Amino acid sequence: MADSILIFDSGVGGLSVLSQVRQQFPAICLNYLMDTEMFPYGDRDDDVLIQRILNVCVRGCEHYNPALLIVACNTASTLALSQLRNALPIPVVGVVPAIRVAGERCTSDAQNTFGLLATPATVRRPYTDQLINDFANHCTVQRFGSKELVAIAERKMGGETITTELQQHLTPWLAEFPDMQKVVLGCTHYPLLRDELEACWPHIEWIDSGEAVARQAARIFPASTTGNQQINLCWTGTQCPRGVSQFLAQYGHLEQAGSLNK
């Protein structure tokens, strides 16, 4: 379907990007593809991941024939954007931690510290170092690489109550920097926890990339604004993660769901 967009992530995190994209594209087909067979990406070898991301995204594009690919995964974007752009005949938009936004909001010496909350791999990648050097070299960036937050977000999507677990996980780190007023959510899973984050730490501004990615997609692909929006759901494993269909059903447009491997 040429008048459509493919949104790719390893799991449910890209739903936070999809929720922003659908506002920019109210009359287009959105295809959401999860690599559940390889999830989680966090600690896997880079070379393995690059080949895997290329394979799944190429197959997804062959299946849906989209006009645009959005890589709604920080790990995949920091590793494989250039390879995907070389391999595919369509525009590819990636998502990276909103370090530039946070840097621009560090307006005084008293507020020049912000946190970067991401997976351990994203926190330590040279790409992240370069983003900080380019857009936030006037700031102090406190990094926290979490192995647990992705799983916590996935459990929330499955209907579990995760507030206590979230507090126990993040409180020791945040307590080290009591004056920190901004934290970049450097993984697309993390905005799915926004309600709990804002309730537990209301003094912190939680910054993510979803809205910026949606605006960039709209600049590249000025699609029609008339018609009905449709959402298709696809995954690579044997079953869809709990809660995803229910999450998409709130928009009232979920049309198809199935495994890419069938």
Which residues have a catalytic role annotated?
A: 73, 187
Looking at the DSSP assignment, which residues form a beta bridge with residue 194?
none
Q: Provide CB contacts within 8 A for 200, sequence distance 6+.
A: 163, 166, 167, 170
Element (H, E) at 28: none
> Which one-letter amino acid corresponds to residue 46?
D
* Separation of alpha carbons 236 and 71, rounded Å: 16
For the packed helices 74-87 and 46-64, what is the interaxial angle rounded to 10 degrees? Answer: 60
Rounded to 5 degrees, what are φ and ψ at 236? -100, -20
Q: Provide CB contacts within 8 A for 102, sequence distance 6+.
A: 114, 136, 139, 182, 184, 207
